[in-house]
Amino acid sequence: MVKIADEGWRQLLKSEGDKEYFPKLWTSVMHEYASTTCFPPKEKIFRALDLCPYDKVKVVILGQDPYHDYGQANGLCFSVEKGTKLPPSLVNIFKALQYDLGVKPDSNGDLTGWAEQGVLLLNSYLSVRKGQPLSHAQYGWDRFTDRIIELLNAHDTPIVFMLWGGYAKSKARLIDDKKHLVLKAVHPSPLSFYHGFLECKHFSKANDFLAAHGLQPINWAYKS
């Protein structure tokens, strides 16, 4: 069964839990958690959905898989627990936010406040083994999270999708860009950051789109 606390998401995804792939996925992931160290903590696997109900989603930021060391992954893509050293990609996201909206970076990398305002911080793979990026990629998480994107594409209200990097951009095929705003950029990692991410201005573009559709813009300065 899908262990999602939010009732709306739980009902929308109930049929996924009944499909053949999901019990195999869940059994494999739970075996990993029982036999080795995995992230995020088990109770936070579906935290992105729990903090951002379906009918409240305004913006989607898509990551690939969780951070893979202690104190980092907290169930929200690119986010870390408060007090944890900021990973390079998150440092660069904050640099781009300052360039765009003048929000001064600080040491708090917990993006819970974004999620609570309607920013779905979704990884394609919802779990990972300690120290081994993409170690749970083969279990079928992407099938599950692709379904989440499809459900969001059917949302009554237009949504902003931020697709950073080649993998995230590949998900554009699931999104109707005539209805929703699809923003694409290179990944914020140090390898690609200065090839267009700094100047992408996705945060102001998202807020302009939301305001144009009568929705409350995101306060990107508020994190938690």
> Which run of H or E residues covers position 163?
strand 160-164
Question: Cα separation of 209 and 179, whole Å?
Answer: 11
CB 55 within 8 A of CB 8: yes
- Is residue 69 flagged as an active site residue? no
Measured CA to CA, the distance from residue 217 to residue 224 in angstroms comes to: 17
Return the biggest CA–CA distance within the chain.
50
How far is Cα 101 from Cα 189, in angstroms, rounded to an integer?
20
67 near 127, Cβ under 8 Å?
no
The Cα–Cα gap between 200 and 127 comes to 29
Residue 197 DSSP one-character state: T
Task: Check 6, 18, 55, 65 and give the catalytic one.
Answer: 65
Q: Which long-range contacts (CB under 8 A, 24 or more apart) does 193-199 make?
A: 193/92, 193/95, 197/92, 197/96, 197/164, 198/92, 198/95, 198/96, 198/99, 199/96, 199/99
Q: Please list the active-site residues.
A: 65
